[in-house]
Amino acid sequence: MAQKHTVSFISLGCPKNLVDSEGLVSTLLSRGFRVLDDPKDADLVVVNTCGFLAASRSESVDTIKEAVALKDGGVQGVLVAGCMVGNYKDQIEKEAPGVDRFVPFVDYSNIDGIAEELLPKDPSPSFTVERRRVDAALTPGHYAYLKISEGCNHTCAFCVIPDIRGPMRSLPEDDLVARARTLAERGVKELVVIAQDSTVYGTDLYGSNRTSRLLHRLDSIEGVEWIRLMYAYPTEVRDELIETLATSERVLPYLDVPMQHASDSVLKRMRRGYGRARLSRMVQDLRDRVPDIALRTTFIVGFPGETDADFEELLDFVREARVERLGAFRYSDEAGSRAADLDGQVPESVKDERYDRLMMEQQQIAFAHNEASIGTTESVLVDAAAVDGHPAVARRRRDAPEVDASVFIQNDALRPGDLIQVEITGASGYDLRATLPG
Ligand code: SF4
């Protein structure tokens, strides 16, 4: 019998991109493609790029170059999708020549047609059978991302997502609940709810904000143990949402809320629609009303016009808010963004220095939070079993997959997806050690 065509995916960037990759994989699986882990063994390689800031773009270009080089072996074609296709196609063509097709967002549903055009006709019946619905997951089986909307209505000066992905479009609530049920039936214990802005869900479809209502419906699905909300917008963290985080059984006391800066003048230039006072109130409300809440945020340093005083104000806010998790980026121009036209560009050396100072400040805070947790008993979800003398890896309720801290446990019996109680016995940098009680 003829072999089916094979495809390998390299998904870069954020979980939103990963969910897009899952959609692309599902479409190709539904047409009979086999998905392989190792790109060099595949007929076709798809690179789903991330265009967020210069460092991500450079990683994407390097990855494309590596994929194109595989055409010297058995790979027959390289497709490039993702955020770079819109605004950085020229850069890719110049720096990583040899891509066979670029796949913009509007063509995602036709990726199977594009792939089939590129490859020699496969005599296997898989190309002629009816398309069957396939739902691929690129996460380990015990957690999954649930993308609740596409696009964004904000106009942040440093971002081109609204231009390339369009305005916010919510997915129907019933469809999301059905998807979550399917995931729970497959063994998913943790649902990570994502969107460009997850806190305005439903306003387009239903005329009112349905984020909390959706979270309550997900909360009632049997089998789902943890529900984690990522990518909240500060001005949308209102009473109803805070109450939901405080009272729902399985919606975790965790919020990823990118704040981007804390100086009023920088936030104004960024067009974020809030100032430091609003951020301080939001953090205080969350701390006061949601017991044990853990906060994650991101900040950009070196945005055009950021002065020493602006940066000191950011540091001051970081000391005040003491968020558990903080990611920082050095600003870089995004082609087509409003910020790219702003004056007052900050020299790279100053961005580096500010980045280092911010991360050092946060390190002390993160380490202090970790020290404070030593001796406590925590629920953890196991992500990986112990292997070759290395401990099992788990996460607390206050830690999101991929980006937050890990808990290491020396125990060979633990398996991914186990939800257990552990005693935190020590801290190593950003991570923790634990043992099973008893
Ligand atoms: S909220 Fe701002 S940064 Fe986030 S996707 Fe929308 S425009 Fe971009």
State which of 196, 200, 230, 267 you would mutate to test the pocket of ligand 1, scoring each by most atoms of that ligand within 8 A of its C-beta. Answer: 196
Query: What local confidence, expressed as pLDDT, does residue 126 receive?
Result: 40
Q: Structure pTM?
A: 0.86
pLDDT, position 119: 83
Alpha-carbon span 260 to 314, nearest angstrom: 10
Regarding whether 206 and 298 lie in a shared domain, the answer is: yes
CA 297 to ligand 1 centroid distance, Å: 14
- Does one domain contain both 164 and 95? no
Same domain, 297 and 360: yes
Tokens 């000191």 correspond to what residue? 312
146 Cβ partners below 8 Å, 6+ apart? 176, 179, 180, 183, 191, 192, 193, 194, 218
Among 127, 153, 177, the domain boundary falls at 127
**In angstroms, rounded to a whole number, what is the distance separating the alpha carbons of residues 198 and 233?**
7
278 and 197 in a common domain = yes
Phi, psi angles (nearest 5°) of residue 270: -75, -10
> For residue 272, how far is its CA from the centre of ligand 1 (angstroms)?
9
- Is residue 430 within a helix (H) or strand (E), and if so which, with residue range? none
Are 183 and 330 found together in one domain? Answer: yes
- Identity (one letter) of the amino acid at 1? M
Q: Which helix (H) or strand (E) segment is 251 a member of?
A: strand 251-256
Measured from CB, residues less than 6 Å from any atom of ligand 1 are: 152, 154, 156, 159, 161-162, 196-197, 233
* Closest-lying ligand 1 atom to the alpha carbon of residue 153: 6
Atom of ligand 1 nearest to the CA of 233: 1
pLDDT of residue 87: 81
The CATH number linked to 390 is: 2.40.50.140
Q: Residue 315 to residues 158, 311, 346: CA-CA distances in angstroms?
A: 21, 6, 17
| Count of domains forming the chain | 3
Q: Give the domain CATH number at 14.
A: 3.40.50.12160
Centre of ligand 1 from the C-alpha of residue 59, in Å: 21
If you measure from the C-alpha of residue 137 to the centroid of ligand 1, how many angstroms do you get, rounded to a whole number? Answer: 25
8-state DSSP, 2: P
Give the per-residue pLDDT at 52. 77
Are 116 and 147 in the same domain? no
Closest ligand 1 atom to the C-alpha of 155?
7
Model pLDDT, residue 334: 86
The protein residue whose alpha carbon is closest to atom 4 in ligand 1 is 196
Q: What is the DSSP string of 136-181?
A: ---S-TTEEEEE-EES-----TT--HHHHH-S-EEPPHHHHHHHHH
Q: Give dist(CA 187, CA 19) in Å, integer.
A: 18
Specify whether the CB–CB gap between 50 and 13 falls below 8 A: yes
Same-domain check for residues 217 and 173: yes
* Residue 15: other Cβ atoms inside 10 A: 22
Tell me how far apart the alpha carbons of residues 245 and 240 are, in angstroms, rounded to a whole number: 9
Asked if residue 389 and residue 333 are part of one domain, the reply reads: no
Out of 373, 398, 426, a domain closes at 373
Report CA-CA distances (Å) from 47 to 59, 66, 84, 88.
Answer: 11, 10, 11, 14
Token pair 């609940």: residue: 177
Q: Which atom of ligand 1 is closest in space to residue 196's alpha carbon? A: 5
Nearest CA to ligand 1 atom 2: 156
Q: Which of 373, 403, 421 is a domain's end point?
A: 373
Q: Which domain holds residue 417?
A: 377-435
Distance of CA 306 from the midpoint of ligand 1 (Å): 19
Stretches in the chain below the pLDDT threshold 50: 1-2, 123-133
- What is the pLDDT at residue 353? 98
